[in-house]
Structure 1
Amino acid sequence: MANNSSAKAKIQRFGNFLSSMVLPNIGAFIAWGLITALFIPTGWMPNAYFAKLVGPMITYLLPILIGYQGGKLVYDTRGGVVGAIATAGVVVGASIPMFLGAMVMGPLGGWLIKKFDKLVDGKIPTGFEMLVNNFSSGILGGGLSLLAFTYIEPLVAGVSTGLGNIAQAITDAGLLPLIAIVVEPAKILFLNNAINHGVLSPLGIQQAASAGKSIFFLLEPNPGPGLGILLAFWLYAKGTAKQSAPGAIIIHFLGGIHEIYFPYVLMKPLLLLAVIAGGIAGDLTFVVLHAGLVAAPSPGSIISLMAMSPKGGQLPVLAGVAVATAVSFLVASIIIKRDPQGEDIEEAQAKVKDMKAESKGQTIAEATTGDVKLIVFACDAGMGSSAMGESILKKALKDAGITGIDVSHSPVDSIPGNADVVFTQENLYERAKKSAKTDRILTVKNFLDRARYDEFISQLKK
C-alpha cells in the first residue's frame, strides 16, 4: 500500500512538473491560437501578412518559452536562461514543433548550471563572480545547444513523430473515445493539468500545425461530463450538495474551473461511471463529427472552447459537449436517485478536517495563532481553484474588518517562503508540507467552502 502511494505521489509530481512548464505560458499559446484561427487562409479573416506570424511562433517562440520555464523551475532565472539556450538547439532546423524537446532540454540546462554553481561555490576569486557567472552560463548553454542540434533533435523528432503516428492510428481505428476511461478518473485525482498540458497539448499542437485543428485539445477540457454531474445533483440530490450545485455549474461551465465538481464525485465514487460514460460519448461525437480546436483552451470553459474553434467548427464542438452532458447526467441521475441524501458535502468536509487535525495533532485554533501577514492558497497548478479560494477569503476578511493580511495563490510545489498560513486541498497536503516553510497548513475539500474560512477568521480574531 505504501509503495502504491509513493508511486502515485511520484507520478503526480512528474505530471505537475510537466504541466508547470506549459501553464505559465498559456497566454502565448492562446495568442498563437487566435492568430491562427483568424488569419490563416481558412481562418475567419484570411490575411497573408499577419499569417506570417503563425509559423515562427509555433516553431521558435512557444518551445523556447517552455524551455525557459523548465529551466527556471529547476534553478530560477539563471536556469531558465540556460534552458532557453539549450532549447534553441532542438528547435532550429526541426520539421515539427519541438515541445517534447523543450521539456527535455529546458530542465536539463537548469539542472546542469545549478550543479556547476554548487561545484564552484566559494572557489571563485573576489571580483570575478560576474565574469564566471556570465561565461559559465554562456559556455554551458552554447554547448548544450550544439549537442541538442546534433543529437537530441533527431532523436526527439523521431519520438514525437512516433507518438503522433500512434495517436493518429488510435484515432483512425475509432478507439480514441476509450481514452476517457483514463482521463476522467485522473481528473478527479487532480491530474487534469498534468494530462492536458503535459501530454495531450503537445500532441495537439503537432497535429494542429499540419491539419489546422486537433481533437486532442478537446479530450480533457470538455466540460460536459462535469456539467452532467452537477445538473444531476441540482435536480435529484438533497442538502447542501443540492443547494451548492447551481453556483458550481456557473463556475464550472462558464468559468472553466473543473475542480469545482471533483468533490461531488468523491462524495459518491460510483459517479466515476457517469463521468467516464459522458467522456466516452463526448469523445465519440468529436470523432464522428471531426471536431477539433486550433489551440488548447484554458481554462476549460465553453467560452474558451468556442474561441479556439476553427471557422465553421463550433457546432461539432457544441454537439460533443451536449452529448457528454446528457450521458453523464443520465447515469448520475440513476446513481443519485438511489441515495439522494448520501453524505452531505459539509459533513464530508468536516470529517476529513477532523481526521487531518487528529493526524497532525493540532486543532485549527492551534494552526492559526500568531502573526499572520501572508496567506497562500496552493493548488496543483496555482491558477484555477486556488485563485477562487483567494478571492473568497479576501472578501471574507474584508467583511470581517480584518486588514493588513495579504492573500495570494501559487502552485503547491512552489509556495512562497514567507507564507504564514497555507490553504490547500486534502490530497495535496503532503506536497504542501514539503514546499511550505510554515507548519500552519490548513486543508479544504472544496475551495468554495466559505464556512471553512469563516471558522478560520473567527480563530484569527481570537
Structure 2
Amino acid sequence: MDDTSNIKNKGKTKERVQGFGRFLSGMILPNIGAFIAWGLITALFIPTGWLPNAHFAKLVSPMITYLLPLLIGYTGGKMVGGVRGGVVGSIATMGIIVGADIPMFMGAMIMGPLGGYVIKKFDKLVEGKVPAGFEMLINNFSSGILGAMLALVAFIGIGPVVLGLNGLLKDGVEVIVKAGLLPLVAIFIEPAKILFLNNAIGNGILVPIGAQEAKALGKSVFFLLESNPGPGLGVLLAYWVFAKGAVKESAPGAIIIHFIGGIHEIYFPYVLMNPLLIIAVICGGASGIFTFQIFGAGLTAAASPGSILALMAMIPRGGYFGVLAGVLVAAVVSFLVSSVIIKSTNKKTEDNEFEEAKLKSSELKLKKKDEISETNGVIGKTFNKVIFACDAGMGSSAMGATTLRTKFKRAGYNIEVVNCAIEAIPKDAQIVVTHETLTARAKSVAPNAEHISVKDFLNNPAFEILSARLKPIANTNTKVNIEPKNVVKNESKILEKKNIKLGLESTDKYTAIKMAGKLLYDGGYVEEEYMDAMIQRENDLSTYIGKGIAIPHGVGEAKKNINKTGMVVLQFPNGVRFDEELAYLVIGIAGVGDEHLQILSNIAIAIEGEDESITDKLKSTENIQYIYDLFTIKSED
C-alpha cells in the first residue's frame, strides 16, 4: 500500500472517530439539563447531602435508573429514525434497564439508535405498500411489535454483556493493585466511572481494601482513587474555557455540582460527548494517584459523596497538603490534556463557520448581480439531487422544493428536488436547503451534506448558488407552462370552495392562524389539539414563506391529530403581519401523506411565474373560483 492510500485511510478513520463523537454528543447534549436536575437533587437530599431529606431523596434512584437512560435512548432513536425511532428506542432501552442492576447509560446509547435504525428500515421496506387508511394502524403496531422484540433482546442479551464488563473491570483493578502499580489503576477506574460503574468499583473493590488498610494504618490511599474530583474538574474547566454554545454555558453549573456537591456522574456525559477525553481523565487520575503516593496521602474513611469538602472532612491530622496536592495535580493535568482535545474539536467548528461566512459572502454578491466566485468551498462539485427540508416536511419545504424544481426545469437541468422533514433527511444527502434557523438541526442529521441556509422559502438564492456550478445548457426552454392541459372536473376534497374565505379584516398572526385552524377543525380534517400545534409551530419558526403567503401548520408531532388531508385559504387584502413581513394569503395545512403536495406545487408554480399580476390578484380577487382553479387544476407534463 502506497503513502497516498495510507493517508486516505487515516483520514477516513479520523472522520469515523469524529462522526462517532458527534453522534454520542447528539444523544447527550440535549439531555444535559436532566443530568443537572438529577445532580442537584442528589447533592441536596441524599443522607450525606447538604439538606438531607428522605422524602425528596426518593427521586434520586428512579431518575438515574429510568429517566436519564430513557431520555438518552429516545434521543438516540430519534436521531436515527425520527419520532417513531425515538419511541422504539425508548422501548428497547427499557429492556436493558430492567436487565441490569446498574445505571444503563451505555446500554441506552446502544439500544436507542438500534431501535431507530430498525424502525427506519421497516418504514423503508413498507414504503408505498400500505393501503390508504391503514397508515396509523400499521405505524402503531409496527412500533409496538418491533419495540417489544428489541426490549426482550436487550433484557436477555445486552444487559448481561454490560454486567460482564463490570466484572472484567473489577478483575483488572485487583490485578494492578496486587502488582504494586497503583497509578496505572486509573486506566481501569476512570473509564469505569464514565460507564457509570463508579459505585461498583468504589464500593465493591476500593472501599473494602481501604477499610482493611485504614484499620491497620489509620488511613488509606484507596479511599482517594475513585473519589478524587480532580480529573472531572479538569474536564469541566476545559469545556468552560474552550468550548462553545450550550455545553460551555452548562459547564459552570456542572462544576459546582461535581466539585462542591460531590456528584461525579454530572461530568460523565461531557466526556462521552468527546470520547477522546477519556485520555484526559486517565492522565489526570494517574497523576493524582502518583502525587498521593509521593506525599503518603490517605483518608481515614470513604468520602461520600466525593466532594472536596467530604474529602477534607476525612483527612487525618497533618495530611491536608498531600490530599489537596493530589486533587490539584489531577485537575491541572486533566485540564491541559482536555484543552488540547477540545480546542482541536473547536477548530473543526471554526473551519465550518468560516466556510459558512464565505457562502454568505457569495450570496451578497448575487444580490448585487455579481458573478459567484465561491460557494461553500466546493466550486464545481457535481450533484444530481437537492433536499429541501423544513420542520415538519409538510408545507414550507414542499413549496420551496417546487419553486427550485421549476427553476431547474426552466433552465434545462435534470436535477431531482425533493422535500422532507428535518429528521427525515437522508444520511447520504448531497445538498440540503433549509431555513437559516433550521440549518444547525439539519447538519446534525446529515453532517456530510452541503448545507445552504435561506431566509425565505420562495424568494431565495438557492438556484443561483447551485446553478453557478452547473454547465450552461444551450437551446433550453425559458418558460415553464403553468396553464392546465387537463382540467380535473371532480371537486377537490382537500381544498373545498367553502374553505376559501376572501376579503377578511386584518388581524394579528395568531388570530389568523386560529381562524385557519378552526376551519380545518370544522371541516373534520383535524382534532381540536391541532390548533394549538399550529401556534406552537409559529412560535418555533415563522410560517411566512415569501411573496405574501404564510402556510401555518402543526409541528411534526401533531400529525397524530390529523384525521385526513385538508387545506383552507384565508385572504387578507390589507395583510397580516408575520414578524417583519405582510402575508395576504394564510393557507392552513393538515397533511396525512403527500396528497396536499399537488396543491402546494400549483401555488408555488403559479406565483413563481414572471407575471407579478398573479400575486397581486391573489391578494385582491373577490372570485373564489379563480383561487380554487389556480390551486387545484392539475397539468400534465
TM-score normalised by length of structure 1: 0.51
Q: 1:278 to 1:117 in 2, by over 3 A?
A: closer
Post-superposition offset of 1:156: 2.5
- The equivalent residue for 2:56 is 50
Q: 1:39 to 1:114 in 2, by over 3 A?
A: same
- The equivalent residue for 1:28 is 34
- Aligned pair 1:323/2:329, yes or no? yes
- The equivalent residue for 1:418 is 434
- The equivalent residue for 1:149 is 155
Which letter maps to 1:437?
Answer: H
- Aligned pair 1:222/2:220, yes or no? no
Return 5+ residue gaps in structure 2 as ranges.
1-6, 208-222, 243-247, 256-279, 337-346, 368-426, 455-637
Which letter maps to 2:234?
Answer: N
Tell me the distance in 2 between the aligned counterparts of 1:205 and 1:162.
Answer: 15
- Aligned pair 1:12/2:18, yes or no? yes
- The equivalent residue for 2:624 is none
Tell me the distance in 2 between the aligned counterparts of 1:221 and 1:122.
Answer: 53
- Aligned pair 1:2/2:8, yes or no? yes
- The equivalent residue for 2:182 is 174
Tell me the distance in 1 between the aligned counterparts of 2:313 and 2:237.
Answer: 24
Q: 1:253 to 1:28 in 2, by over 3 A?
A: closer
The 5 Å alignment of 1:28-427 reads: 28-163=34-169, 165-166=171-172, 173-176=181-184, 200=194, 202-204=196-198, 214-215=226-227, 218-222=230-234, 281-282=287-288, 284=290, 322-323=328-329, 365-366=361-362, 369=365, 418-420=434-436
- The equivalent residue for 2:611 is none
Tell me the distance in 1 between the aligned counterparts of 2:435 and 2:362.
Answer: 17
Greater share of helix residues, 1 or 2? Answer: 1
Return 5+ residue gaps in structure 1 as ranges.
181-194, 231-243, 245-249, 258-273, 296-304, 331-348, 372-412, 441-462
Greater share of strand residues, 1 or 2? Answer: 2
Tell me the distance in 2 between the aligned counterparts of 1:65 and 1:363.
Answer: 36
Query: Does the residue aligned with 1:43 lie in a helix, a strand or coil?
Result: coil
On the 8 A contact 2:80/2:116 being kept in 1, the answer is yes
On the 8 A contact 1:225/1:275 being kept in 2, the answer is no
Q: 1:276 to 1:25 in 2, by over 3 A?
A: closer
Q: 1:59 to 1:252 in 2, by over 3 A?
A: closer
Post-superposition offset of 1:154: 1.8
- The equivalent residue for 1:408 is none
Query: Does the residue aligned with 1:437 lie in a helix, a strand or coil?
Result: strand
- Aligned pair 1:437/2:443, yes or no? no
Post-superposition offset of 1:164: 5.5
Tell me the distance in 1 between the aligned counterparts of 2:76 and 2:136.
Answer: 24
Instruction: Describe the superposition over 1:77-124 as per-residue Cα deviations: whole angstroms up to 9, x where unpaired.
Output: 110110000111111152222222212111111100000000000000
Query: Does the residue aligned with 1:48 lie in a helix, a strand or coil?
Result: coil
Q: 1:417 to 1:175 in 2, by over 3 A?
A: farther
TM-score normalised by length of structure 2: 0.39
> Alignment identity in percent?
46
Post-superposition offset of 1:44: 2.0
Q: 1:224 to 1:327 in 2, by over 3 A?
A: farther
- The equivalent residue for 1:247 is none
Query: Does the residue aligned with 2:25 lie in a helix, a strand or coil?
Result: helix
Post-superposition offset of 1:20: 2.5
Q: 1:285 to 1:13 in 2, by over 3 A?
A: farther
Larger deviation, residues 211-220 vs 87-96: 211-220
Instruction: Describe the superposition over 1:244-268 as per-residue Cα deviations: whole angstroms up to 9, x where unpaired.
Output: 9xxxxx99996889xxxxxxxxxxx
Pairwise CA RMSD: 5.5
Post-superposition offset of 1:370: 5.4
- The equivalent residue for 2:216 is none
